[in-house]
Amino acid sequence: MGFDTILATGISVLILMVLAYVLFAGFTGSIDQMTNTLKDVETMKGDQMKTSISVYNVSTNDTVVTFEMTNNGFTKISNFSQMDVIMTFNQTFHQYTDDPTSNQSLTIWFPYQENLTGDRDAWTCVNITPDMINPRVWDPGETLSCKMYIKETLQPGSLGWVVATAPNGVSGMGYFRVKI
């Protein structure tokens, strides 16, 4: 009778030790994963703090919008297809709404297109100046000249703004008024 109690206690202690080991291993794995995630967030935030872009010289001509951006930060940007360009403007929209007399604000996302033809809402890089260090890479201090095509004809006098966002989430914005 006494040996059965000792055996049951020994098995219980062994099960508790295995369970404690499994819980401890899971806990340390979670801590390692959380630490790696925090390192990634710190790296991303550091990249964001080193990035600064400004949008200016926004001008319009019917269905074409041109603007310039300067890389004021310390981060090189090479993949323009990962950048977002969004334009918001106020006017009457025949193509985008059912009511031809509606006067409202419209926001359009413009994807990057290398060889822009004007057949869809898109933007492209016209040139980078001065582009001497890394060709076709938007280095700090360089100016990116851009062109956007919009399907809808912009009405004279309407107001709007262009927002450009770098791949790491940093953005710049410039306002415009369609020429009368």
**Count of structural domains, the chain:** 2
Distance (Å, rounded) from C-alpha 147 to C-alpha 124?
6
Please determine, for residue 101, whether its predicted confidence score (pLDDT) is greater than 60. Answer: no
State if pTM tops 0.85: no
Domain ends where: 31, 49, 67? Answer: 49
Predicted local distance difference test score (pLDDT) of residue 98: 55
Beta strands of 130-167 (E only): which ranges? 143-149, 159-165
Residue-number span of the structural domain to which 39 is assigned: 1-49
Indicate if 58 and 145 belong to the same structural domain. yes
- Residue 26 — very low, low, confident or very high, per pLDDT cuts 50/70/90? confident
Predicted local distance difference test score (pLDDT) of residue 14: 92
Between 62 and 127, residue with greater pLDDT? 127
Q: What is the CATH number of the domain that holds 153?
A: 2.60.40
DSSP H or E run through 67: strand 64-71
Indicate if 86 and 39 belong to the same structural domain. no
Predicted local distance difference test score (pLDDT) of residue 127: 93
Convert the pLDDT of each residue in 47-94 to its tens digit.
Answer: 778 888 999 999 988 788 999 999 998 889 989 999 999 998 876 544
Indicate if 40 and 86 belong to the same structural domain. no
Indicate if 45 and 71 belong to the same structural domain. no
Domain ends where: 30, 49, 68? Answer: 49
Indicate if 7 and 73 belong to the same structural domain. no
Percent pLDDT > 70 in the chain is 92
Indicate if 58 and 16 belong to the same structural domain. no
Predicted local distance difference test score (pLDDT) of residue 96: 52
Between 180 and 131, residue with greater pLDDT? 131
Between 23 and 45, residue with greater pLDDT? 23
- Residue 97 — very low, low, confident or very high, per pLDDT cuts 50/70/90? low
Query: From its phi and psi, is residue 170 left (phi > 0), alpha (psi between -120 and 50) or beta?
Result: beta
Indicate if 66 and 38 belong to the same structural domain. no
Distance (Å, rounded) from C-alpha 73 to C-alpha 134?
16
Chain-centroid distance of CA 170 in Å reads 7
Indicate if 98 and 123 belong to the same structural domain. yes
- Residue 100 — very low, low, confident or very high, per pLDDT cuts 50/70/90? low
Indicate if 35 and 75 belong to the same structural domain. no
Buried b (16+ CB within 10 A) or exposed e, 17-26: eeeeeeeeee
Predicted local distance difference test score (pLDDT) of residue 131: 87
Indicate if 34 and 110 belong to the same structural domain. no
